[in-house]
Structure 1
Amino acid sequence: MRLFYFLFAVVMYNLWILANVLVSAGAVPEKPPLSTHLFQEFVVMTDYG
């Protein structure tokens, strides 16, 4: 179970980094333009069904 939680956290972190790169037009920004709070709200309110 701990391995699942770890891998899930890694996937969420990578999605957050990818979203920041896409928002900043392909460059890796110094300060992330997309905060973790905003990313969390987007993930939670997305309808997956």
Structure 2
Amino acid sequence: MFYFLFAVALYNLWVLANVLVTDGTIPGKPPISTKIFQEFVLPTDYG
């Protein structure tokens, strides 16, 4: 249950970041890709 809720929270944070970048409009194609978002959220390289 924890992992599901954590994944939902990360997804919502990604959507919020995309909305904030586009000045409050919901974009058709996200300007922040999941790769860029991953590099921002998880800066530590584990291997």
- Pairwise CA RMSD: 1.2
TM-score (norm 1): 0.85
Matched positions, count = 44
Select which of 22, 34, 37 maps to 2:35: 37
- After the TM superposition, which segments of 4 or more aligned residues of structure 1 sit over 4 Å from their partners? none
TM-score (norm 2): 0.88
Offset of 1:24 from its aligned partner? Answer: 0.6
Question: Would you tell me which structure has more helix in proportion to its own residues?
Answer: 1
Offset of 1:45 from its aligned partner? Answer: 1.9
Question: What is the rounded CA distance, in whole Å, between the counterparts of 1:19 and 1:7 in structure 2?
Answer: 18
Offset of 1:15 from its aligned partner? Answer: 0.2
Question: What is the rounded CA distance, in whole Å, between the counterparts of 1:45 and 1:37 in structure 2?
Answer: 12
Question: What is the rounded CA distance, in whole Å, between the counterparts of 2:24 and 2:31 in structure 1?
Answer: 12
In structure 2, runs of 5+ residues without a counterpart are: none
In structure 1, runs of 5+ residues without a counterpart are: none
Percent identity, aligned pairs only? Answer: 68
